[in-house]
Structure 1
């Protein structure tokens, strides 16, 4: 029970959002506002996760981002191994995470407080600003551990049915905005390792995004996860 509660944030938001996760729940297409009165479709997510915004304004997002710099670093380039950088993150992923924090579906007293003050347009503008940046510099990593992680990330391990991470996240780790697949390039190492453990150890809950991660990571040992975290934190 304790494990299920701990990892529930990975399941709950996606269970609520799968019908329109990246088409509707992530907001209207860039360039136009949602039709007046548009809400969540039947059986879809609650209105708080259906973002309505006009064309994102990265310049405005830069102004808003000043309050993020204390933790995530100037320009979203984190200098803390336990805090994820935001620079270069695909906008759909940033929008979704902020909307989930705002809806109090992902635990973090700090982030819930920050997100509670953001409008839909604020979220879209912040996501656009961070997406326009480049990931922070590579973190230092043990060469041997990094090489092992690189082999798993780029090629997987057929003998153990390990899927290459590059299949979804791309060879450069930059993710895919249309599919809501996160950029993991130069991800803060301690944070990256924590998230890998959470995905691998999450109970099955039958929704695509977290289940794909759980299945992909299930054959991996703790040492494998350390190697992957070393690699993704030092990709560039």
Structure 2
């Protein structure tokens, strides 16, 4: 399920979809009869209808994901995110976007094409119940960068108007499932760096999540972002 093109969902989805997507972010479990793969015709493709998620079924149907995302959904590739421990709300949103071809990746389009709403909910529940992967090793040359990244993550930099990442993602980097804020603890470093760069270059528009990231990253230098990348990839150390 590796992404072949690295572009944030918030950059990829047309603006017209954002308001209903944010309002339906929780994608609450609904009645019987999930819509067919691809979502209801003419409806919001990011809104899902599903019964109580079944992690056991999610484990079964996510076996093919491990080829890219690693055994037990713990990534071994610096450019590929691990799914273990990611919040269900966030994983559901990403899989729905891939299924609808709103987030670019031909590999993921094929992987998600035949997933029903219930399948997506089950995979997300399974992944969310796993422990995040271990911390990534920090090279000796990056030790000072990690220290700088830790300070920026937890305290920000008031004189430079840099907001602490922990305000939204929490001191442990685990985010908030209720608000759709992603867990970034021990995020694959190269992937994390690419996502930060994408968010910094996100155009101005009135949608909370991308605007919050864009505003937070605007005053950061490339070195600042590299420091945060090194820190969040190694938070468990």
TM-score class, shorter: 0.7 to 0.9
CA displacement 1:26-52 (0-9 Å, x = unmatched): 4224xxx237799xxxxxx93322101
Counterparts of residues 98-109 of structure 1 (less than 5 Å): 98-109=95-106
Match of 1:84 in 2: 81
1:199 aligns with 2:199: yes
1:150 aligns with 2:147: no
Q: SS in structure 1 opposite 2:45? A: helix
Looking at structure 1, the residues matched to 34 and 76 of structure 2 have their Cα atoms a distance apart, in angstroms, of 42
Q: SS in structure 2 opposite 1:49? A: coil
Match of 1:165 in 2: 165
Looking at structure 1, the residues matched to 157 and 198 of structure 2 have their Cα atoms a distance apart, in angstroms, of 21
TM normalised by structure 2 equals: 0.87
Match of 1:220 in 2: 220
Looking at structure 2, the residues matched to 213 and 161 of structure 1 have their Cα atoms a distance apart, in angstroms, of 13
TM normalised by structure 1 equals: 0.88
Residues matched between the structures, number: 222
CA displacement 1:57-91 (0-9 Å, x = unmatched): 01111111101000001111000000000000010
Q: SS in structure 2 opposite 1:59? A: helix
Runs of 5+ consecutive residues of structure 1 not aligned to the other structure:
1-5, 39-44
Q: SS in structure 1 opposite 2:123? A: helix
Q: SS in structure 2 opposite 1:168? A: helix
CA contact (8 A) 1:61 1:129 kept: yes
Q: SS in structure 2 opposite 1:216? A: helix
CA RMSD of aligned residues (A): 2.1
CA displacement 1:85-132 (0-9 Å, x = unmatched): 000001000000000111111101101111111110000000000000
CA contact (8 A) 2:156 2:165 kept: yes
